[in-house]
Amino acid sequence: MPLDIRDATADDEQQVIALWRACGLAAAHNDPAADFRFAVEGAASTILVALLDDHVVASAMVGHDGHRGWLYYVACAPEHRHKRLGSRIVEAGEAWLRARRVAKVQLMVRETNAAVVPFYAQLGYEDMPRVLMSKWLRT
């Protein structure tokens, strides 16, 4: 399957957000447009998109802090699942991090999306027992 994977541009924003919504990745407490713009404009982040016939069919937001890399919003259009698009966009995110000499990549899976855990396990990701703590900074 001929697939073009590249960094997203501002012109991709609407298609990418539609994909995230179709995949159930847009959370009520996050503004996907703000997340998109922040990643695309960031020096240590990007959004990778996979295009099939000029249509975004997969995405991965990728970023790092210099030590650890993160994958967010990994999405594959429901009608294109089981064609290795998800694997290819994850591999592209890992390559993006390797090119920046980031040694470790992490991701989080919401409990409501636990069905994707076997997909990530097949790609070599492991459960990492940690206590995850957070604090809302919004005023």
The CATH number of whichever domain residue 107 belongs to comes to: 3.40.630.30
Instruction: Read off the pTM.
Output: 0.91
Question: Which pLDDT does position 9 carry in this prediction?
Answer: 97
- The reply to whether 40 falls in a domain is yes
- The reply to whether 130 falls in a domain is no
- The reply to whether 16 falls in a domain is yes
Range of the domain at 15: 4-122
pLDDT interval class at 116 (50, 70, 90) = very high
pLDDT interval class at 93 (50, 70, 90) = very high
* pLDDT > 80? residue 138: no
- The reply to whether 59 falls in a domain is yes
Domain count across the chain: 1
- The reply to whether 134 falls in a domain is no
- The reply to whether 132 falls in a domain is no
- The reply to whether 117 falls in a domain is yes
CB 8 within 8 A of CB 46: yes
**95 vs 49, 61, 89, 91, CA distance in Å?**
14, 13, 10, 6
